[in-house]
């Protein structure tokens, strides 16, 4: 086991909701289910206006390799197919369903019968699972790497290094059985020898709880792995290094290093799917931020509007100026709270005016904090200079493509320079120049 | 509950939170770290230390403000860097220096060295060091008229320990006197202990890295020990300590050579920078025309910093050095 650590930074944890047991939100009047909730080809709606749908019914799918099907999270009537500008830019088709609040379960819902890898992978695809840590890469592809004979280790990402978010923490305490059975199923069918659950040490109760559950079941090939409570220990490439000691370059898949890695919620959903047969139709998320009246952890149907979720949390206690999907370090700022919850939402954070202002950028004083913060020892100041010159070769030589956009450099910069964002732009320059 | 929609939200790139350390706070910590030396200086040289420091700070801030105003640039007085420069200039001159000469020094530092090159972060060399050298060359008499520490008895001016060493004809102060600072010299450089306290505070607060001060002071110590060991001019250990405590080594190593803008970014570069400062300091002290070489050594290493930065390539995560393919 590696005892070496990559460079990291201390970011205040703000885990206000760690003690808040998850509350299940009542079904809202209307849900809008996006057809593009994963990396890859968007789904085509399989329903039309006027159709009656039930919970768990397939409503969107596409015949593409990188994709995941989408299911209805409610029972009710499709009242429209809407186009909406999505948070990532581009347009999104939304299936708008007026709910009847009966939550009738679709007839076909039953636990899958599986006896080999192919069946397991198909079941995972049918469940609509995507990477729930944030990247939303379809899970069935991750679980079926081309070098399936060479993978040996399962890593569960339960670091939850983003400030504010506690949904994975609550999941480990509340859905322990599903998590462990999900891991065991994945290890059994993919053929993995050992499994690690990487958890930051600021969640000692979750670590103790899982250790006890594993010991009670007599499971010895799954262990918890304590990570430093520093940012960004939950980044995929950092986590692989911390646990296995192997360096994972940009563009390399975990499977190339013998590792299957996914977020803790993903595995819990695998367990839940094999127990109940219910695909991914609801999501646990942390609702917090200084504009939210009652921060809490919520399970909401996918497609619930963000303002409905916040209304369930007591509404806004002051006017929100910035709302994030995800954590404050890597989360996405959205322009409106009239947006639906998607599969990978693990947090909704709403901030008041004073916490939303973008700090004014001042001159670099060459202090080197960005370089000391970078897990990959990149030199963000040099990268920013190269970007100013649009010097693709220099950007490439300085390894801009290694940047995972964790934002540590921007966070730490005393001059408030948006260094992480500049790296993102720098990557585009390199790609455009076609430098390999 | 009444539902209200907000659709004019702020959209910006991640991260959405930032650390509470900003440039102003860093500069404020440097000013705080200079306070012990300031207090000792007042004790040693009297009230003129206060007035001269005030003159330097006020004129440095004024020049910064006026330049930004005239050039219609964003006002940068708030980042406190001009205050740091002002205090450092005051610390680098004798307590008896005429006020107008100090103001000239601040003009050189803020306008010529800093603002003409583009302001904070853009100056190629350390403003305070350069101002000291300009004053030293232009006003040689005033800049080397060292007022007597209050502890000493009769006479109106004295020599610095390094001056005594270079000129001969006097008795060197003992190392304890030098450690405490009851000696002649520039206002802020006399007390090694006070500067050490400030320096350790900055290292503890992670404002500066210990690499440059350690390499700088270490090189001075080792160089002196070897020199006096070989030549037999005095007790090698005692003279090595003497050279570390004398002159501007402590002030330079902790507060001037560590200036972010004009020192190398990467650890290896900092090592080269620190050793270079120490070597040049000792070369000037032992063989040069001037008794003291700290400011020249830092200025020269400032000029070499871009080369050092290019020379020291960092091995990044994922292996290859920056120019390997």
Instruction: List domains and CATH numbers for chain A.
Output: 1-25+112-352 (3.40.50.11540), 369-433 (no CATH)
Nearest-Cα residue of chain A relative to residue B310? A382
What is the domain-level CATH number for residue B123? 1.10.3430
Q: How close A28 comes to chain B (CA, Å)?
A: 12
Q: What percent of chain A has pLDDT over 70?
A: 98
CA atoms of A67 and A39, how far apart (whole Å):
7
Determine the pLDDT at residue A436: 67
Interface with A, mutate which of B9, B20, B205 (most A CBs under 10 A): B9
Residues 6+ apart with CB under 8 A from B133: B295, B296, B299
Q: What percent of chain B has pLDDT over 90?
A: 68
Q: What percent of chain A has pLDDT over 90?
A: 78
Question: Nearest Cβ partner of A407 from B14, B76, B266?
Answer: B14
| Contact between A233 and A261 (Cβ < 8 Å) | no
Mean per-residue pLDDT, B23-35: 95
**A376 neighbourhood in chain B, CB within 8 Å:** 316-318
Does the beta-carbon distance from B19 to A316 stay under 8 Å?
A: no
What burial class does residue B62 get, using C-beta atoms within 10 Å of its C-beta: 0-12 exposed, 13-18 middle, 19+ buried?
A: middle
Does the beta-carbon distance from A308 to B3 stay under 8 Å?
A: yes
Q: How many CA atoms lie within 13 A of B36 on its CB side?
A: 19
CA atoms of B111 and B92, how far apart (whole Å):
18
Read off the pLDDT of residues A275-310 as tens digits, 9 standing for 90 and up. 999 999 999 999 999 999 999 999 999 999 999 999
Mean per-residue pLDDT, B191-217: 95
Total tally of structural domains belonging to chain B:
1
CA atoms of A11 and A421, how far apart (whole Å):
18
Does the beta-carbon distance from A411 to B316 stay under 8 Å?
A: no
Structure tokens, A428: 């585009």
Is residue B63, in this structure, part of any structural domain at all? yes
Does the beta-carbon distance from B318 to A320 stay under 8 Å?
A: no
CA atoms of B239 and B228, how far apart (whole Å):
7
CA atoms of A306 and A287, how far apart (whole Å):
10
Whether cis (ω within 30° of 0) applies to the bond prior to A231 is no
Determine the pLDDT at residue B153: 53
Nearest-Cα residue of chain B relative to residue A247? B318
**A319 neighbourhood in chain B, CB within 8 Å:** 6
**A418 neighbourhood in chain B, CB within 8 Å:** 13
Which parts of A57-158 fold into alpha helices (H)? 117-126, 139-142
Q: Write out the E strands in B278-319.
A: none
The neighbour count for residue A110, using CB atoms within 10 Å, is 9
Residue reference for tokens 């009966």: A102
Give the pairing of strands B146-147 and A347-351. Answer: unpaired
Rounded to the nearest angstrom, the gap between the alpha carbon of residue A284 and the centroid of all alpha carbons in its chain is: 11
Name the average pLDDT for chain B.
89
Does the beta-carbon distance from A321 to B9 stay under 8 Å?
A: yes
Does the beta-carbon distance from A334 to B11 stay under 8 Å?
A: yes
Determine the pLDDT at residue A369: 94
Q: How close B178 comes to chain A (CA, Å)?
A: 32
Task: Please report which confidence band the pLDDT of residue B99 belongs to, taking 50, 70 and 90 as the band edges.
Answer: very high
**A53-57, A158-162, A351-355: segment of lowest average pLDDT:** A351-355
| Contact between A225 and A240 (Cβ < 8 Å) | no
B12 touches chain A (CB under 8 A): yes
Listed residue (A21, A125, A37) closest to A303, CA to CA: A37
| Contact between A256 and A47 (Cβ < 8 Å) | no
The neighbour count for residue A271, using CB atoms within 10 Å, is 21
B14 touches chain A (CB under 8 A): yes
CA atoms of A168 and A264, how far apart (whole Å):
7
Does the beta-carbon distance from A399 to B322 stay under 8 Å?
A: yes
Question: Nearest Cβ partner of A249 from B5, B260, B318?
Answer: B318
Residues 6+ apart with CB under 8 A from A250: A237, A401, A402, A403, A404, B318
For residue B25, CA distances in Å to A324, A415, B80, B254, B256 come to 28, 11, 8, 18, 18
Beta bridge mates, B41: none
- Give counts: helices (H), strands (E), chain B: 14, 2
Mean per-residue pLDDT, A102-122: 92
Q: What is the three-class DSSP state of B59?
A: helix
Does the beta-carbon distance from A337 to B10 stay under 8 Å?
A: no
Is residue B296, in this structure, part of any structural domain at all? yes
Is residue B325, in this structure, part of any structural domain at all? no
**B319 neighbourhood in chain A, CB within 8 Å:** 247, 249
Determine the pLDDT at residue B151: 67
For residue A361, CA distances in Å to A365, A410, A415, A418, B74 come to 12, 11, 6, 8, 11
Question: Nearest Cβ partner of B318 from A163, A368, A376?
Answer: A376
Question: Nearest Cβ partner of A365 from B9, B118, B121?
Answer: B121
Structure tokens, A290: 């200084």
Is residue B16, in this structure, part of any structural domain at all? no
Does the beta-carbon distance from B9 to A410 stay under 8 Å?
A: no
Mark which residues 96-155 of B lie under 8 Å from A by CB. 118-122
pLDDT value at B323 more than 80:
no
Residues 6+ apart with CB under 8 A from A144: A117, A121, A190
**B12 neighbourhood in chain A, CB within 8 Å:** 322, 333, 358
* Residue A193 host element (H or E): none
| Contact between B131 and B293 (Cβ < 8 Å) | no
Is residue B10, in this structure, part of any structural domain at all? no
Which parts of B148-293 fold into alpha helices (H)? 161-167, 175-180, 192-204, 211-231, 236-245, 249-251, 267-287
Does the beta-carbon distance from A328 to B19 stay under 8 Å?
A: no
Read off the pLDDT of residues A350-398 as tens digits, 9 standing for 90 and up. 999 888 878 889 999 999 999 999 999 899 999 999 999 999 999 998 8
What burial class does residue A7 get, using C-beta atoms within 10 Å of its C-beta: 0-12 exposed, 13-18 middle, 19+ buried?
A: middle
Determine the pLDDT at residue B4: 72
**B17 neighbourhood in chain A, CB within 8 Å:** 11-12, 163, 328-329, 355, 411
Nearest-Cα residue of chain B relative to residue A378? B316
Is residue B11, in this structure, part of any structural domain at all? no
pLDDT value at A412 more than 80:
yes
Read off the pLDDT of residues B128-187 as tens digits, 9 standing for 90 and up. 999 999 999 999 999 988 887 776 654 556 678 888 887 776 677 888 888 888 888 889
Determine the pLDDT at residue B315: 65
Q: What is the three-class DSSP state of A77?
A: strand
Q: How close B76 comes to chain A (CA, Å)?
A: 9
Higher pLDDT, B3 or A360: A360
The angle that helices A176-190 and A167-174 make with each other, rounded to 10 degrees, is 90
**A256 neighbourhood in chain B, CB within 8 Å:** none
Q: How close A270 comes to chain B (CA, Å)?
A: 30
Question: Averaging pLDDT over each range in A3-12, B140-149, B197-206, which range is the top one?
Answer: B197-206
User: pTM of the entire structure?
Assistant: 0.90
Is residue B138, in this structure, part of any structural domain at all? yes
Determine the pLDDT at residue B145: 86
**A331 neighbourhood in chain B, CB within 8 Å:** 14, 16
Does the beta-carbon distance from A366 to B265 stay under 8 Å?
A: yes
Q: What is the ipTM of this complex?
A: 0.88
* Enclosing domain of residue B261: 23-311
The angle that helices A176-190 and A117-126 make with each other, rounded to 10 degrees, is 140
Is residue B316, in this structure, part of any structural domain at all? no
Read off the pLDDT of residues B85-95 as tens digits, 9 standing for 90 and up. 999 999 999 99
């Amino acid at each position: 086991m590696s005892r070496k650590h990559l460079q990291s930074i201390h970011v205040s944890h703000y885990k206000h909701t760690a003690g808040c047991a998850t509350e299940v939100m009542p079904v809202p009047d209307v849900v809008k289910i996006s057809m593009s909730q994963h990396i890859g080809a968007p789904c085509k709606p399989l329903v039309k206006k006027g159709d009656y749908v039930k919970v768990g019914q397939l409503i969107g799918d596409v015949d593409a390799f990188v994709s995941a099907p989408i299911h209805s999270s409610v029972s009710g009537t499709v009242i429209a197919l809407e186009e909406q500008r999505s948070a990532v830019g581009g347009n999104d088709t939304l299936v708008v369903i007026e709910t009847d609040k009966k939550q009738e379960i679709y007839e076909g819902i039953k636990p899958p019968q599986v006896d080999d890898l192919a069946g397991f992978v198909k079941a995972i695809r049918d469940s609509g699972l995507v990477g729930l840590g944030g990247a939303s890469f379809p899970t069935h592809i991750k679980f079926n790497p081309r070098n399936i004979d060479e993978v040996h280790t399962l890593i569960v990402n339960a670091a939850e290094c983003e400030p504010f978010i506690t949904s994975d923490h609550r999941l480990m305490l509340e859905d322990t059985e599903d998590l462990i059975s999900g891991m065991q199923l994945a290890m059994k069918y993919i053929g993995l020898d050992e499994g690690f659950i990487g958890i930051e040490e600021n969640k000692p109760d979750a670590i103790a709880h899982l250790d006890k559950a594993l010991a009670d079941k007599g499971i010895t090939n799954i262990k918890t792995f304590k990570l430093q409570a520093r940012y960004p220990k939950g980044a995929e490439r950092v986590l692989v290094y911390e646990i296995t000691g192997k360096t994972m370059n940009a563009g390399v898949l975990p499977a190339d290093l013998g590792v299957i890695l996914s977020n803790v919620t993903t595995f819990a959903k695998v367990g839940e799917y094999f127990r109940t047969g219910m695909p991914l139709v609801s999501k646990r998320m942390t609702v917090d931020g200084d504009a939210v009246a009652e921060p809490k952890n919520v399970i909401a149907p996918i497609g619930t509007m963000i303002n409905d979720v916040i209304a369930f949390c007591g509404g806004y206690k002051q006017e929100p100026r910035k709302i994030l999907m995800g954590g404050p370090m890597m989360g996405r700022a959205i322009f409106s709270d009239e947006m639906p919850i998607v599969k990978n939402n693990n947090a909704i954070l709403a901030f008041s005016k004073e916490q939303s202002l973008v700090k004014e950028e001042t001159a670099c004083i060459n202090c080197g904090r960005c370089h000391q913060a970078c897990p990959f020892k990149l030199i963000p100041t040099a990268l920013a200079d190269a970007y100013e010159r649009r010097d693709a070769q220099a950007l490439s030589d300085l390894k801009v493509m290694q940047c995972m956009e964790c934002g540590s450099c921007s966070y730490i910069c005393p001059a408030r320079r948006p260094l992480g964002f500049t790296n993102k732009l720098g990557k585009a320059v390199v790609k455009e120049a076609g430098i390999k | 509950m009444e539902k209200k929609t907000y659709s004019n939200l702020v959209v910006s790139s991640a991260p959405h939170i930032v650390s509470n350390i900003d440039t102003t706070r860093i500069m404020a910590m440097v000013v705080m770290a200079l306070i012990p030396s300031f207090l000792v200086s007042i004790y040693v040289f009297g009230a003129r230390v206060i007035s001269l420091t005030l003159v330097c700070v006020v004129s440095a801030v004024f020049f910064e403000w006026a330049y930004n105003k005239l050039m219609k640039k964003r006002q940068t007085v708030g980042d406190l860097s001009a205050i740091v420069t002002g205090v450092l200039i005051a610390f680098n001159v004798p307590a008896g220096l005429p006020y107008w000469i100090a103001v000239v020094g601040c003009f050189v530092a803020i306008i010529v060295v800093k603002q003409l090159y583009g302001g904070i972060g853009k100056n190629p060399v350390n403003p305070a060091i350069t101002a000291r050298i300009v004053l030293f060359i232009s006003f040689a008499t005033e800049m080397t008229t060292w007022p007597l520490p209050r502890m000493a008895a009769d006479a109106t001016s004295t020599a610095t320990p390094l001056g005594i060493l270079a000129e001969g004809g006097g008795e060197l102060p003992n190392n304890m006197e030098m450690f405490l600072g009851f000696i002649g010299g520039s206002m802020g450089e006399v007390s090694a202990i006070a500067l050490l306290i400030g320096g350790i505070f900055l290292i503890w607060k992670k404002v500066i890295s210990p690499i440059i001060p350690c390499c700088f002071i270490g090189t001075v110590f080792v160089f002196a020990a070897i020199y006096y060991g070989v030549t037999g001019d005095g007790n090698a250990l005692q003279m090595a300590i003497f050279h570390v405590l004398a002159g501007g080594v402590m002030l330079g190593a902790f507060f001037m050579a560590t200036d972010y803008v004009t020192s190398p970014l990467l650890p290896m570069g900092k090592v080269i920078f620190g050793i270079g400062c120490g070597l040049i300091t000792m070369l000037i002290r032992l063989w040069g025309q001037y008794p003291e070489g700290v400011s020249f050594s830092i200025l020269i290493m400032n000029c070499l910093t871009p080369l050092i930065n290019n020379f020291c390539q960092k091995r990044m995560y994922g292996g290859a050095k920056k120019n390997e393919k």
